[in-house]
Structure 1
Amino acid sequence: MTVLERPRRATRGVGVSAPRPDGVPKVRGQFQFSSDLFAEGMLWGHVLRSPHPSARIRRLDVGPAWAIDGVRAVLTAADVPGAPTYGLEIPDQPVLAADVVRYMGEPVAAVAADHPETARRAAAAVLVDYEPLDPLVDPEDAISAPPIHPDGNVFRHLRIEHGDPEARGEVVVEGTYEVGMQDQAFMGPESGLAVPAEDGGVDLYIATQWLHVDRDQVARCLGLPLEKVRLHLAGVGGAFGAREDVSIQVHLCLLALATGRPVKMVLSREDSFFSHVHRHPARIWLRHQADRQGRLVRVDARVLLDGGAYASSSTAVISNATAFATGPYRVPNATVDGWVVRTNNPPCGAMRGFGAVQACFAYEAQMDKLAAALGMDPVQLRLANALRHGDTLITGQRIEGSAPVAQVIEAAAGAPLPAVGPEALPEVALPGGAGRTATRSRVRRGVGFAVGYKNLMYSEGFDDASEARVRLELADDGPLATVTCAAAEVGQGFVTLARQICEEELGVERVVLAPPSTTRIGSAGSTSASRQTWMSGGAVAEACRAVAGRLLERAARRLGTDPGRLVLAEGAVQALEGADALSVAELLAEGPLEETVTFHHRQTEPLDERGQGDAHVAFAFAAHRAVVDVDLDLGLVKVVQIATAQDVGRVLNPLQVLGQIEGGIAQGVGLAVMEEIVLDQGRVRNPSFTDYLIPTALDMPDVAVAALVEEPEPGAPFGAKGVGEPPTISSTPAVVAAIRAATGLPLTRVPVRPADIALATPGDPRP
């Protein structure tokens, strides 16, 4: 990997590549993930899932399951004591299906037994008499089809009207684009441990992205008060949005309460594919109109997302896909219709990029098509229309923060290209790799470019907040700061960043993080939407500053001066003028200091009936240039290099920023050329990593970070923006643009499959 060299500003605090405290244990296999949990006398849980995408349940017989020795509980919908449904935004999903099933994999019964294999066999022994129905699988049909759920088939329809509806441009291009269903493909499948408590409640140790919202849904389904449902974060083996929704949480707690014993569940990879949401498949039509100089005049769009059987976060995903449908460009006139609908396909929800990924693939293909129609360089066309600070979006919102779109475009476009072409590469480096399948003369190289953007944090009036507590005390070997925050560490690095913030604000060398739990602190919100650096980082920073203020007050009393004349630095409080100073250790001898802070971002508002409103807090931008080699005969693609530049506000940990960029690009490359859940009339045909392919180390290109653009964001802690999502958004269209350049094919769908290239035309598509 080519990396950006940055000078070290200090040995600790923000701006330093501090190592992850969980890094070494994870590499050595010593880190305890949720699948490693154990409790004395625990049982094992298993869930029976529907084999049909749509069916009525005519009869259900649990007798054969009970007849198996070692079975301790067999639960159906009738055994749910509280609300029968749950949901991240809309409680429309049954805990266990009662009368109908609406997607392949829907839970029907839950079993607990002495051994995991016994639990699996008992679940398989439950007799279910299904009456299969014709599934509703086409999202276009779903808009007007008879409802398959009491809440209807349309989760949300959003229309944006901006500018003059009669405005027209001299050059017009249009196209329809499709995005397949992508899986988050985290390494650690869903797992957890529920332990019944003496007070009639339950403690759940679970890998999740949002402890408090999980708790609220679980308590509602159990019919218990919130204080009797206690969630504790277990080691998370990846998330990327799929752990925002409840999966096995309610089932585990039901089984533990029914048996009076701890119950553990670890899903197989196949069951994991069925238990969590996926990225929404999309069908997007766009028409771009510009003047002869390449300035955009008007964009019309229709965005259709398949939400699958249940709502999850679909209403928010379509908001993003619709609002960002025209890209990070100045568009004076636009009309965009966005639909997200219910089908009998697997439920879809949050995944890295959250609606912006689907939109970016479509609008960047259009920008290349427009550049070709104008006879204009694609990069120059983007620069001519790039958003700037102060510009107005199609939702009527003015960009008040940083928007270095031109800077990221120029930096990514200007990165050095690979020095060696396919004609000189070793055989193993050609498409097909060690198989030596490529004929060198039939390999073509292409270069493609894309730029994208996304909102940070929650939008449309959501009351977004995070709570953190910082306690500063004197331990045996000096001052010790303890941070308590419910932010879920899912690999993004908050466990490192929280320490760095404490070091920066309090000057202490020893910082520990209390285990996240709903019993210790209020909600930190979800680890999603690129928000934890801003929100929970902001909460920790504010709590540290409150503690520092009390420390200064304590010192001021002892020194007989005003706190405003004192400063905390290098482990001591000293006067701005004069030599008076007191060590932090001396001041803490009087007793510990503790402060709890709830941090909010500025208020946003819902989009109105015309799709207008100040809906988003801030935005992050990134550009990618991809270089690919394509075997024209076999349709195989080798991504050789991706150069990128990203708007980061301020770099708080350079090493972690680079890690997020690499990881995001890996998922973008996957969506471009290999990752798709294959559906056949609602049935999933590839629920395993044997058939659902993800990039390996051999598939990853060289990642050249051309620039990390640091324009501090007003209102953000230390000016930093979240960096996890932008790498995924525009890397996919950049790769596909490069494949188009190599082949001359339109390629309007991702992932690009070998047949899309090899069977597109007889012979060489570019003689």
Structure 2
Amino acid sequence: MDKPSALPGFLIGEQLPAETAAATPVDLVPAPTYAAVDPPADGIGKLVPAAKAAGRYPYAADRAGGPGMLYASLARSPYPHAALLRLDVKRALEIPGVHAVLAGPELGVTAVEYRGQCVAVAAAEHPALARAALDAVEIQYAPGEPMLDARQVFAAARRTGNDARISAYRRYTLGEGGDLAEPGPEESTVMYGYEFGRGADPAAAPGAVLAVPVTGSDGQGGLQLRGLDLHTASSDPARDLHAVAEAIGLPATSIRLVPAPFTGTRAGDDPDLRVAAALLAVRTWRPVRAEGGPADRLAGDAGTPAVRVHATHRVDAEGTLVAVRVELVVDGGADPAGAEPLLDELCRSVVGPYRCQDVEIQGWVVRTHNPPAGPWPGGAAMIAAVVSEAQIDAAAAACGRGPLDLRVKNLIRSGDQLPDGRRLVGSVPLPELLTQVLDTTMPPFPPGPDIRTFPGTVGRTGELTRVRRGAGIALAMVDLVPPDLGEEFATAQVALTSDVNGPLVHVVTSMVDTGNGQHALLRRVAREALGVRRVIVRRPANPDDLPSSAIGPGRGTWLHCMAVQRAARAARAQALAKIAAQFAVSPQLLEIRDGMVVTYDGTLSKPVDEVYPQVLRGAAVYVADGEFRVHGGGEPSPGVFVPEPGTAHVAVAAYRAVVDADTELHTLRPVRVTAAQDAGRVLLPERAEAAVGSGVLTAVDFVFNAQAEEIDLAGAELGGFGALGPGQFPTMLEQPELELLPFLESSIGELDSTMLRRRGFAAPLPLGYLPLRRAAYAACAAALACATRDALESHPTRLPLRPWG
């Protein structure tokens, strides 16, 4: 029976050819085994975080090198702006065991553009030899006057008309474009400027990159360089791939980014590490391993924020939001291209989850002599939430209404427009989430008698009469599929077979489990589609067997889950072909529910325990490939999820934070965070709770990071970060109590999407579940800022918070 043209489920008639045909099994590579680290068969793998906390986790920097491997070391500039007058590597090359030394123009560096920029690299047979080679390199600088403040650079560009340092500009308007020239007699206007520094990002271990050259025959009996394998962890693969390709002079198609799960640090910390390893590998034709320790972390100017936002909101006497005008400047550093995605997202979401008829948003990215702007932790949703909630609080005070009343009156709803003109589709259950939060009780006040519950904790305890309590409610909205998103895809292979213990499923995917339960989620998806308890997830021995594109943050798990689901359904259709013939239906019309093989309408069924022994007799193997693609816009095509034109899918959250402030000692303590989130569909409750907890921890660390003392991580000039850099993680005494309310599951399910599409409604996101961590981070940070304003009875406009200044 041919594949029918209309089947129940998502993406009707858009199954890929590989989903219905048998596939050749790829070679499997077993996951690295570590006695104290391997995650259990189910759950999110609690042993992995425990091993990290105990210092027993096998990071990449801890693993021994292989035969023929070289070790790289980097020399960095101590100046943010300087000319290179002299570079001499002769003495370094004379050291035995040193294979290559590159400096200055060989690295594409003719002048220093930021402090910590790599100006020389060396590859040797031992790390100590590589460091000695760099010590022998003669480098002479001519320091210049750096431009570190993005606001000054932007003002100078406007004054002189020279926009050479303005790398990007965005403008969105709705209605009359936020015209605030002539306020009405009963209208109130609030205007504030906000500054955001980069939060703490301390590395759990030194970052490590392994570059392996790929050679092949040149057709004349010799060898030629054909490509490069780069083993690294990357939060922005597209950016990193472009940077490496431009540096080594090879096309991007010949460079393969191989996900490395054991790096211990974020890719945005050190963009030079990958380029250095790649250049040395191409020069020496040998594998090169580069590591970056605490001293290699890039330090910008601690006194200049990375993002500045100037927001003006106008409300009428009844509290209705009439007009919004926002101008924002993003410090892109020496390579501002990495800041443009942040600018795009911030311009689209800075109004927050509130409706307004007249909006004007303008944003700029400015090039300075600060380090290149990598991916912002959590994206722009946190900045947008903090700004919008602070403006709502200020507008409520200006018009004499309560902050909660103003929020409820202006809540965005399904069908409302965003600043870029897209309309929200699907469920936007902000009223339900807000009701959940308001129905919970407040923690008792005053704190005590345990002094550890005071804002200063042990050793910095003030008088109880000087402790003030503040509470704040914040709403956050995260854009899931940006309109400018290029095509992203993931692939997977599923094999259904059996052994002496019964049915068994093998899932092969390039998805890396970092200890956050990614593979547990893949097992859940495969188990749900095939009804088999035992599911093993592995990575392919050759990553080319299952290619995947560069995937942005927040979408990797979603894409791989969909790829696994499609492959599992294709394998299921192959295995149930005989049962489908008995039922006289197409195999694609069979599903597995509650241990039964049933037709889509539930009229015919048969127990799985009877079906699988029959179809898997003789250790039969059914293998199928699955692929899932997503694109931000354009014409729909088979197998690609494209949001309907002019629509937006969002995830929302509502949080309440309670903060105690000691007005004498200028200390803050978060007491409790109450979280309510729309999860769409909860596939793995334990992982969902862990994601929310991780987002809350990150938000607490960012908002209150400025209270930590300035420390010198490396004992060197490059180590100081000041108030806007990594001080310390909040201790266990400073962690707030997390009250996680039951998740709201608003997904309508895949079986209903066909009917809704026929009625003219937009289909939901595939798989139904929504990412939680970004929304938790954004809403929690905004709620903590609101609670701090309430406790201090002031309007601080800088994050991380500095309540004394």
2:205 is equivalent to residue 193 of structure 1? no
Q: Provide the residue aligned with 1:663 in structure 2.
A: 694
SS in structure 1 at match of 2:687: helix
CA 1:216–1:103 in 2, change beyond 3 Å: closer, same or farther?
closer
Q: Provide the residue aligned with 1:10 in structure 2.
A: none
Candidates 98, 101, 105, aligned match of 1:71: 98
2:437 is equivalent to residue 388 of structure 1? no
What is the CA distance between 1:723 and its match in structure 2?
Answer: 0.9
Candidates 161, 169, 185, aligned match of 1:157: 169
Judge which range, 596-605 or 104-113, deviates more: 596-605
Q: Provide the residue aligned with 1:116 in structure 2.
A: 127
Taking the aligned partners of 2:545 and 2:374, their CA distance within structure 1 comes to 29
CA 1:578–1:196 in 2, change beyond 3 Å: closer, same or farther?
closer
Taking the aligned partners of 2:168 and 2:256, their CA distance within structure 1 comes to 33
1:503-526 CA-to-partner distances (Å, cap 9, x unmatched) read 001112222222266422121542
User: Are the aligned partners of 2:172 and 2:362 in contact in 1 as well (CA < 8 Å)?
Assistant: yes
Taking the aligned partners of 2:385 and 2:214, their CA distance within structure 1 comes to 49
User: Are the aligned partners of 1:408 and 1:707 in contact in 2 as well (CA < 8 Å)?
Assistant: no
User: Are the aligned partners of 1:480 and 1:510 in contact in 2 as well (CA < 8 Å)?
Assistant: yes
Amino acid across the alignment from 1:27: A
Taking the aligned partners of 2:71 and 2:491, their CA distance within structure 1 comes to 35
User: Are the aligned partners of 2:511 and 2:557 in contact in 1 as well (CA < 8 Å)?
Assistant: no
What is the CA distance between 1:306 and its match in structure 2?
Answer: 0.9
Q: How does 1:666-745 map to 2 (within 5 A)?
A: 666-674=697-705, 685-686=720-721, 692-712=727-747, 714-745=763-794
Candidates 614, 621, 624, aligned match of 1:592: 621
Taking the aligned partners of 2:200 and 2:308, their CA distance within structure 1 comes to 18
2:231 is equivalent to residue 205 of structure 1? yes
What is the CA distance between 1:317 and its match in structure 2?
Answer: 0.8
CA 1:743–1:73 in 2, change beyond 3 Å: closer, same or farther?
same
Taking the aligned partners of 1:742 and 1:191, their CA distance within structure 2 comes to 43
1:3-23 CA-to-partner distances (Å, cap 9, x unmatched) read xxxxxxxxxxxxxx9844643
Judge which range, 289-298 or 554-563, deviates more: 554-563
Taking the aligned partners of 2:401 and 2:45, their CA distance within structure 1 comes to 49
SS in structure 2 at match of 1:668: helix
User: Are the aligned partners of 2:262 and 2:514 in contact in 1 as well (CA < 8 Å)?
Assistant: yes
Unpaired runs of 5+ residues, structure 1, are 1-16, 80-95, 607-612, 757-767
CA 1:253–1:237 in 2, change beyond 3 Å: closer, same or farther?
closer
User: Are the aligned partners of 1:171 and 1:289 in contact in 2 as well (CA < 8 Å)?
Assistant: yes
Q: Provide the residue aligned with 1:367 in structure 2.
A: 392
User: Are the aligned partners of 2:705 and 2:801 in contact in 1 as well (CA < 8 Å)?
Assistant: yes
What is the CA distance between 1:725 and its match in structure 2?
Answer: 0.3
CA 1:737–1:216 in 2, change beyond 3 Å: closer, same or farther?
closer
CA 1:527–1:477 in 2, change beyond 3 Å: closer, same or farther?
farther
User: Are the aligned partners of 1:464 and 1:525 in contact in 2 as well (CA < 8 Å)?
Assistant: yes
Amino acid across the alignment from 1:24: L
Candidates 569, 572, 586, aligned match of 1:548: 572
User: Are the aligned partners of 2:297 and 2:718 in contact in 1 as well (CA < 8 Å)?
Assistant: no
SS in structure 2 at match of 1:755: coil
Taking the aligned partners of 2:707 and 2:571, their CA distance within structure 1 comes to 49
Q: How does 1:205-604 map to 2 (within 5 A)?
A: 205-209=231-235, 214=240, 217-219=243-245, 221-224=247-250, 229-236=255-262, 242=268, 246-273=271-298, 281-422=306-447, 424-475=448-499, 477-515=501-539, 518-526=543-551, 528=553, 530-557=554-581, 562-563=586-587, 566-568=590-592, 573=597, 576-577=603-604, 583-588=611-616, 589=618, 591-601=620-630, 603-604=632-633
Q: Percent identity?
A: 31
What is the CA distance between 1:408 and its match in structure 2?
Answer: 2.0
What is the CA distance between 1:642 and its match in structure 2?
Answer: 1.1
Amino acid across the alignment from 2:149: D
Judge which range, 198-207 or 713-722, deviates more: 198-207
Judge which range, 568-577 or 512-521, deviates more: 568-577
What is the CA distance between 1:368 and its match in structure 2?
Answer: 0.6
2:645 is equivalent to residue 633 of structure 1? no
Candidates 68, 75, 87, aligned match of 1:60: 87
What is the CA distance between 1:569 and its match in structure 2?
Answer: 5.0
Taking the aligned partners of 2:56 and 2:67, their CA distance within structure 1 comes to 21
Amino acid across the alignment from 2:172: I
SS in structure 2 at match of 1:121: helix
TM-score, normalised with respect to structure 2: 0.80
CA 1:616–1:216 in 2, change beyond 3 Å: closer, same or farther?
farther
Judge which range, 543-552 or 634-643, deviates more: 543-552
Taking the aligned partners of 1:361 and 1:76, their CA distance within structure 2 comes to 43
Judge which range, 544-553 or 167-176, deviates more: 167-176
SS in structure 1 at match of 2:487: coil
2:148 is equivalent to residue 140 of structure 1? no
User: Are the aligned partners of 2:198 and 2:724 in contact in 1 as well (CA < 8 Å)?
Assistant: no
1:480-521 CA-to-partner distances (Å, cap 9, x unmatched) read 323233334444422111111000011122222222664221
Taking the aligned partners of 1:210 and 1:744, their CA distance within structure 2 comes to 40
Judge which range, 490-499 or 446-455, deviates more: 490-499
Taking the aligned partners of 1:178 and 1:260, their CA distance within structure 2 comes to 47
1:220-243 CA-to-partner distances (Å, cap 9, x unmatched) read 543446676444322245667737
Taking the aligned partners of 1:603 and 1:564, their CA distance within structure 2 comes to 28
Judge which range, 180-189 or 444-453, deviates more: 180-189
User: Are the aligned partners of 1:189 and 1:268 in contact in 2 as well (CA < 8 Å)?
Assistant: yes
SS in structure 2 at match of 1:730: helix
Taking the aligned partners of 1:482 and 1:580, their CA distance within structure 2 comes to 22
Taking the aligned partners of 1:240 and 1:646, their CA distance within structure 2 comes to 26
Taking the aligned partners of 1:433 and 1:722, their CA distance within structure 2 comes to 34
Judge which range, 697-706 or 576-585, deviates more: 576-585
1:406-462 CA-to-partner distances (Å, cap 9, x unmatched) read 22222223322112423x341122122121432222221111222111111443252
TM-score, normalised with respect to structure 1: 0.84
Judge which range, 742-751 or 165-174, deviates more: 165-174
Candidates 61, 67, 71, aligned match of 1:35: 61
Taking the aligned partners of 1:620 and 1:259, their CA distance within structure 2 comes to 48
What is the CA distance between 1:302 and its match in structure 2?
Answer: 0.7
Taking the aligned partners of 1:241 and 1:709, their CA distance within structure 2 comes to 33
Q: Provide the residue aligned with 2:76 in structure 1.
A: 49
What is the CA distance between 1:543 and its match in structure 2?
Answer: 1.8
SS in structure 1 at match of 2:576: helix
User: Are the aligned partners of 1:452 and 1:622 in contact in 2 as well (CA < 8 Å)?
Assistant: yes
Taking the aligned partners of 2:695 and 2:100, their CA distance within structure 1 comes to 42
CA 1:247–1:414 in 2, change beyond 3 Å: closer, same or farther?
farther
1:276-332 CA-to-partner distances (Å, cap 9, x unmatched) read xxx982111111111211111111111111111113432111111111121100111
Q: Provide the residue aligned with 1:750 in structure 2.
A: 799
User: Are the aligned partners of 1:488 and 1:526 in contact in 2 as well (CA < 8 Å)?
Assistant: no
What is the CA distance between 1:671 and its match in structure 2?
Answer: 2.0
Judge which range, 377-386 or 261-270, deviates more: 261-270
1:254-293 CA-to-partner distances (Å, cap 9, x unmatched) read 3234344433222111313469xxx982111111111211
What is the CA distance between 1:103 and its match in structure 2?
Answer: 0.7
Taking the aligned partners of 2:255 and 2:741, their CA distance within structure 1 comes to 48
SS in structure 2 at match of 1:58: strand
SS in structure 2 at match of 1:514: strand
Q: Provide the residue aligned with 1:84 in structure 2.
A: none
Amino acid across the alignment from 2:369: N
